[in-house]
């Protein structure tokens, strides 16, 4: 079946038809999908019926997969799969980020070699469906006024997993804390594959701009966040069962919108790493 695409918004994302994620992809199809992923920043595949193993195998077409440091929320059979859920088993949560609102963030921006992609697959959704929003940080960077571009040129920003966990009251183990000290990355990231530049900051995890006084740093970050979350840079996805969303995590930040937390929700996520020679943000 031929692959076709339909844009999801003026700036970001495409719905891809003609792909059954449960089947192995031939090399040409995998190459086409990698190109589409990088060009559109976000790909939506609808109506998928996937075993975890198939989700993992499909994800491998885009890079090697991360075993997330939240080991308590990994699938026991397929540790490449992280559960994002408010469901419980024997009184214990099976997934991360149960039912709080989750603000804008890049997945794993706090690591030395952050993921370049995440894939979220909707397994159980509430009747209000819930939504996740995505901000195109390349488009936001490119549209910045020249004076703002100049102010951030060559700057680095501090990323903190601790800050994220504190905001959402997510308990962190000693080991998880040890593995995630605060880290500096370039504030403007050059995409490891396309060379496009993007704002590489997010309200959830970026605590300050290195080398600037506290007040100036906070004001500039607030200005950049307000800029990049304007509707013209944002696509909001209302979930359907069987949706799979693959996004470019080097140039797109996302947030979960509120949903009816009296109902169950389960998303299965894989996390895609860049090739070793392109791993560190630059």
Residue ranges in contact with Fe ion by CB under 5 A: 107
30 or 87: CB nearest Fe ion = 87
Report the nearest approach of Fe ion to the CB of residue 74 (Å).
15
Residue 227 to residue 276: CA distance in whole angstroms: 32
19 or 204: CB nearest Fe ion = 204
Report the nearest approach of Fe ion to the CB of residue 68 (Å).
11
Report the nearest approach of Fe ion to the CB of residue 269 (Å).
8
19 or 237: CB nearest Fe ion = 237
The residue assigned the tokens 């090399």 is 27
Nearest residue (beta carbon) to Fe ion: 107
Report the nearest approach of Fe ion to the CB of residue 211 (Å).
28
Q: What is the DSSP string of 82-141?
A: EEEES-EETTEE-SBS-SS-EEEE-TTTTSSS--SEEEEEEEE--TT--EEEEEEHHHHH
19 or 84: CB nearest Fe ion = 84
- Report whether 30 contacts 3 (CB < 8 A): no
State the sign of the Cα–Cα–Cα–Cα dihedral 167, 168, 172, 178.
Answer: negative
61 or 249: CB nearest Fe ion = 249
Report the nearest approach of Fe ion to the CB of residue 108 (Å).
9
- Report whether 94 contacts 85 (CB < 8 A): yes
């Amino acid at each position: 079946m031929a692959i076709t695409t339909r844009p999801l918004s003026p700036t970001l994302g495409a719905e891809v038809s003609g792909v059954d994620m449960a089947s192995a992809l031939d090399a040409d199809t995998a190459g086409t999908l990698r190109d589409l992923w990088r060009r559109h920043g976000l790909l939506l595949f609808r109506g998928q019926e996937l075993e975890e193993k198939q989700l993992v195998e499909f994800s491998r077409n885009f890079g090697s997969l991360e075993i997330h440091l939240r080991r308590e929320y990994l699938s026991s059979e397929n540790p490449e799969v992280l559960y994002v859920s408010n469901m419980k088993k024997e009184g214990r949560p099976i997934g991360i980020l149960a039912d709080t609102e989750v603000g804008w963030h890049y997945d794993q921006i706090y690591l030395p070699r952050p993921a370049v992609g995440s894939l979220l697959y909707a397994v159980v959704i509430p009747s209000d469906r819930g939504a996740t929003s995505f901000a195109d940080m390349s488009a936001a960077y490119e549209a910045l006024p020249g004076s703002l571009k100049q102010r951030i040129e060559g700057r680095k920003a501090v990323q903190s997993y601790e800050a994220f966990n504190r905001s959402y009251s997510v308990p962190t183990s000693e080991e998880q804390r040890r593995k995630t000290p605060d880290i500096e990355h370039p504030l403007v990231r050059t995409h490891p594959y396309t060379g496009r530049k993007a704002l590489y900051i997010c309200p959830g995890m970026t605590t300050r701009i290195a080398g600037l006084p506290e007040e100036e740093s906070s004001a500039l970050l607030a200005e950049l966040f307000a800029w990049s979350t304007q509707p013209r840079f944002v696509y909001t996805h209302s979930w359907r069962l069987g949706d799979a969303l693959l996004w470019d995590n080097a140039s797109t930040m996302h947030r979960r919108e509120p949903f009816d937390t009296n109902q169950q929700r389960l998303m299965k996520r894989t996390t895609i790493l860049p090739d070793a020679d392109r791993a560190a943000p630059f």
